[in-house]
């Protein structure tokens, strides 16, 4: 198995392959161009995003700066919005569904390193895909770790560290992130604490 194959296999590998480093530099060059677009250059930004990422659905917007290891392993559905400083550690696939909102300073990481110090000294790594469902809101400063799946309609509270799968239709918060409650009828009436929704 080549290093590139091991990258996508969830197995441990050593990330010291020079040809892979050269490929990654190509990604970083495109990323540099994206992050240095002017606010008025919306079409250019969208075009660069489509060159950079594996898939970009309709009506997606990522506020620069964006940080990504590869780009080519990130898949966006339709109507995805990400605020500034999104970090995608996409050494394998990150799947983001439709109508997903991502707050500022969020990290989504597929890559990890063995706890064993001798393996880490040899630059050992593993990668496990992350899957984010449709209509998910990930609050500011959250971190989503390798192998996590987040179900449809779920809200991840600001600053959460998501270490395990989170089901659909819940509010989940904390470090480690845990389900706080299900989304319910109260949420149809109140948008924040005791503040009542007055539009439909």
Q: Is 180 helix (H, G, I), strand (E, B) or coil?
A: strand
Residue 126, token pair as written in the block:
């593993």
Q: How many whole angstroms separate alpha carbon 104 and alpha carbon 63? A: 9
The answer, yes or no, to whether the previous bond of 65 is cis (omega within 30 of 0) is yes
Q: How many whole angstroms separate alpha carbon 167 and alpha carbon 78? A: 21
The helix (H) or strand (E) run that includes residue 137 is strand 137-138
Q: Is 67 noted as a catalytic residue in this protein?
A: no
Among 36, 67, 75, 113, which one carries the catalytic annotation? Answer: 113
Q: At what angle are helices 18-35 and 42-52 packed, to 10 degrees?
A: 170
The catalytic residues are 113
């Amino acid at each position: 198995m080549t290093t590139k194959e091991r990258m996508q296999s969830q197995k441990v590998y050593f990330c010291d392959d020079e040809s892979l480093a050269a490929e990654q530099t190509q990604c970083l060059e495109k990323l540099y161009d994206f992050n240095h677009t002017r606010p008025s250059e919306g079409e250019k930004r969208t075009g660069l995003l489509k060159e950079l990422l594996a898939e970009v659905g309709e009506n997606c917007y990522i506020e620069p700066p964006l940080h990504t290891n590869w780009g080519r392993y990130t898949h966006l559905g339709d109507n995805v919005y990400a605020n500034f400083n999104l970090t995608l550690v996409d050494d394998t696939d990150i799947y983001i569904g439709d109508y997903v909102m991502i707050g500022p300073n969020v990290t989504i990481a597929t890559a990890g390193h063995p706890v064993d110090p001798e393996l880490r000294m040899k630059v050992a790594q593993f990668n496990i895909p992350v899957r984010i469902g449709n209509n998910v809101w990930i609050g500011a400063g959250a971190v989503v770790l390798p192998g996590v799946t987040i179900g449809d309609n779920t809200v991840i509270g600001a600053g959460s560290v998501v270490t395990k799968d989170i089901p659909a239709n819940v509010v989940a918060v904390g470090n480690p992130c845990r389900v706080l409650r299900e989304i319910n009828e109260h949420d149809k009436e109140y948008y924040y604490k005791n503040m009542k929704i007055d539009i439909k």
